[in-house]
């Protein structure tokens, strides 16, 4: 395991850090449509589809769309973190969504060739070796199968990132390696057709606590950095809520259909 993957494994040993980050967006986003329903709106699959999710995290996509998942879908949720898989299993059980689960990395998918109709990859392709993961995803998809991959734009949460960088030793992750701006070019090497759906919204945060919790969940920010950020955030919000622009979206990439 590389040093980067070891750090990632520690950061995502379970869903605690991820949930702290998600909470900021779920509780303070200003949008006409919540994120996970917006993503699910763009799924166009047969009623009996076989669906694989790589990097499933805590399974929030399925919890938030539990009443929309067709009974005929066979879901397999995987993550390289056993703790995440355990959290996802609990999430889906509570939501009443039937699924199978497995611990696996996206670079080595434990399925035969041409075995699923769709692969879901939510905000995780920037974490993996895409030279290995994208061919694996393509391998397991049937002819006419689809990859649904969410990503951030390069301007996403710029105001929050600037405040954090000015007050802590935080360094951006490798998130810029797969974005709304550069993801299409990377996917084009493996897929026949592609569409990009963009969703621009913003956060309106009235007090510093959720910003501090989000920052504290990051691996490279220590206690001193959190304290400095908390002081800066309180000063920044003293005159009113902080508005933070977001840029997020979804790629739909298709394999070549059967002849």
pLDDT for the residue 18: 66
pTM for the predicted model, two decimal places: 0.88
* Residue 225 within a domain: no
d(CA 12, CA 19) in angstroms, rounded, equals 10
Q: What does the DSSP assignment read for 132-188?
A: HHHHHHHHHEEEEEEEEEEEE-TTTTHHHHHHHHHHS-----GGGGS-TTTHHHHHH
Averaged pLDDT for residues 206-215: 92
Q: For residue 169, tell me if it sits in a domain.
A: no
Residue numbers of the domain that contains 102: 3-156+174-201+247-254
Contact 251, 148 (CB under 8 A): yes
Residue 174's pLDDT band (cuts 50, 70, 90):
low
Q: Examine residue 213 and state whether it is found in any structural domain, yes or no.
A: no
102 in a domain, yes or no?
yes
pLDDT above 70: residue 6: no
Domain count, the chain: 1
Asked if residue 236 belongs to a domain, the reply is: no
In a domain, 79, yes or no: yes
Classify 107 as helix, strand or coil: coil
Q: Is the pLDDT of residue 14 over 80?
A: no
Assigned domain for 43 exists? yes
Please classify residue 160 by burial: count the beta carbons closer than 10 Å to its beta carbon, then call 0-12 exposed, 13-18 middle and 19+ buried: buried
Identify the pLDDT of residue 100.
98
Residue 166 lies in a domain: no
Structural contact between residues 92 and 62, judged by C-beta atoms closer than 8 angstroms = yes
pLDDT on residue 110:
92
pLDDT tens figures, 68-100: 999 999 999 999 999 999 999 999 999 999 999
Could you read off the pLDDT of 150-161 as tens digits, one per residue?
999 999 999 999
Mean predicted lDDT score pLDDT of the chain:
91
* Average pLDDT rounded to a whole number, residues 37-66: 97
Domain with residue 12: its CATH number is: 3.40.50.150
Which residue, 132, 122, 140, is CA-closest to 55? 122
């Amino acid at each position: 395991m590389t040093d980067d993957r070891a750090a990632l494994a520690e950061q995502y040993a379970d869903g605690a850090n991820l949930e702290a980050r998600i909470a900021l967006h779920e509780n303070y986003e200003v949008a006409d449509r919540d994120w996970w329903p917006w993503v699910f709106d763009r799924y166009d699959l047969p009623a009996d589809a076989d669906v694989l999710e790589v990097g499933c995290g805590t399974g929030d996509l399925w919890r938030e769309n539990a009443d929309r998942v067709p009974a005929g879908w066979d879901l397999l949720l995987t993550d390289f973190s056993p703790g995440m898989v355990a959290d996802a299993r609990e999430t889906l059980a509570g939501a009443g969504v039937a699924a199978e689960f497995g611990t696996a990395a996206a670079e080595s998918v434990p399925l035969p060739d041409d075995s699923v109709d769709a692969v879901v990859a939510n905000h995780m392709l920037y974490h993996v070796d895409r030279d290995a993961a994208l061919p694996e995803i393509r391998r397991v998809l049937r002819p006419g199968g689809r990859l649904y991959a969410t990503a951030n734009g390069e301007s996403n949460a710029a105001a929050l990132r600037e405040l954090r960088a000015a007050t802590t030793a935080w360094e951006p992750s490798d998130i810029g390696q797969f974005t709304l701006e550069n993801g299409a070019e990377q996917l084009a090497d493996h897929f026949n057709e592609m569409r990009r759906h963009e969703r621009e919204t913003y956060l309106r945060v009235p007090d510093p606590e959720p910003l501090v919790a989000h920052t504290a969940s990051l691996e490279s920010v220590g206690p001193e950095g959190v304290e400095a950020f908390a002081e800066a955030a309180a000063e920044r919000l003293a005159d009113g809520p902080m508005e933070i622009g977001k840029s997020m979206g979804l790629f739909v990439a298709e394999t070549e259909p059967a002849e």
